[in-house]
Amino acid sequence: MKKQEDNLSLGERIKLSIKDRKLNLSAIARDLNMSPQAMDQIDRKKNFSLEFLESLKKATDGIIDFTKNATHYENINTTEKLEEPTISYGKADVELSFNISVKTTKESISKLGALMEAFNLSAKNLGFTINY
């Protein structure tokens, strides 16, 4: 990719990759079970699941592969201690953004506030600040 393309969102990079390789957008949309209109607006989307990126890779016979841009935490045993990263950031503050998907029942949805409080408290105890 060209230097100026480094600042593009993942959706913009996907759409540009399809265009640069002269792939059929409608055929890819069909393989992904999407409407051609939704596929045409893929550049507006900022976040993609690993499953979508794997499906896109498969739909394009591996020509377009952005799976390395996704983080997949499925099947992690939460009782195992995860290794701390060995990256040093010096004295600079670091800001991270991530999406969390929560699945619950209708009965438990009323406890979402308590879940967020517990998450915020745990983060604070570990030295993190959460901004909603």
Which residue range(s) make up the domain with 35? 3-69
- On the question of pLDDT at 20 being above 70, the answer is yes
Task: Return the pLDDT at 28.
Answer: 92
Query: Which tens digits make up the pLDDT trace of 80-123?
Result: 444 544 555 566 667 777 777 888 888 888 888 888 888 888 88
- Tell me, what's the pLDDT at 77? 37
Q: What is the CATH number of the domain that holds 7?
A: 1.10.260
Please report, in angstroms and rounded to a whole number, the separation of the first and last CA atoms in the chain: 34
User: Does 24 fall in a domain?
Assistant: yes
Instruction: Kindly report, residue by residue over 30-80, the tens digit of the pLDDT.
Output: 999 999 898 889 888 877 778 888 899 999 988 888 887 665 433 333 344
pTM of the model: 0.49
The total number of structural domains in the chain stands at 1
Per the listing, tokens 């952005």 go with: 66
DSSP 115: H
> Quick check: is 34 in a domain?
yes
